[in-house]
Amino acid sequence: MTDYYPRTFFICGILLALLGGLLIFAGVMAESPPIPAAYMQLSLSVVSFCMSYLYPQFKQKDERMKEIRKQGVYYSYFAILGYLFLFLLLLQLNLISWDALLILNVLSALAISTVFVSWVILSKRY
């Protein structure tokens, strides 16, 4: 039986990346910042591409994949702390003047992407 899930994740990743690119393009053409949903769309495209790569390995549900998930979340925790420190520093020094909704959307998108990218990196390592 043919397994279509990796291909489906890849197609969804392309569609989500195109949609995120369209939202960013519309914001640039309107001479305003992109809407905050664009960052989440791009984050979801990263998730889809990562799952396209990881699905054949994740469906086994062995000890190796449990260890990759555990270590990926562990490393992502420190990366998210780094993102928070960086944003706090940039806000305190008045280098950026973003509103709360934009910061939360960017942090959420970074956190989601970091977890899945760390899983891909760790799956190559283990």
Q: What is the mean pLDDT of residues 96-114?
A: 91
Q: Which tops the pLDDT comparison, 74 or 32?
A: 74
How many CB atoms sit inside 10 A of residue 116's CB? 20
Predicted local distance difference test score (pLDDT) of residue 2: 62
Question: Residues 45-61: what's their mean pLDDT?
Answer: 89
Alpha-carbon gap, residue 78 to 55, rounded angstroms: 25
Q: Are 109 and 42 in contact (CB under 8 A)?
A: yes
pLDDT digits (tens, 9 = 90+) for 4-28: 788 999 999 999 999 999 999 998 8
pTM, full prediction = 0.86
Our count of domains for the chain comes to 1
SS3 annotation, the chain:
CCCCHHHHHHHHHHHHHHHHHHHHHHHHHCCCCCCCHHHHHHHHHHHHHHHHHHHHHHCCCCHHHHHHHHHHHHHHHHHHHHHHHHHHHHHHCCCCCCCHHHHHHHHHHHHHHHHHHHHHHHHHHC
- CB neighbours of 97 closer than 8 A, spacing ≥ 6? none
Angle at 65 between CA 59 and CA 67, to 5 degrees: 160
Which residues form the domain of 56?
5-125
**What does the pLDDT read at residue 43?**
95
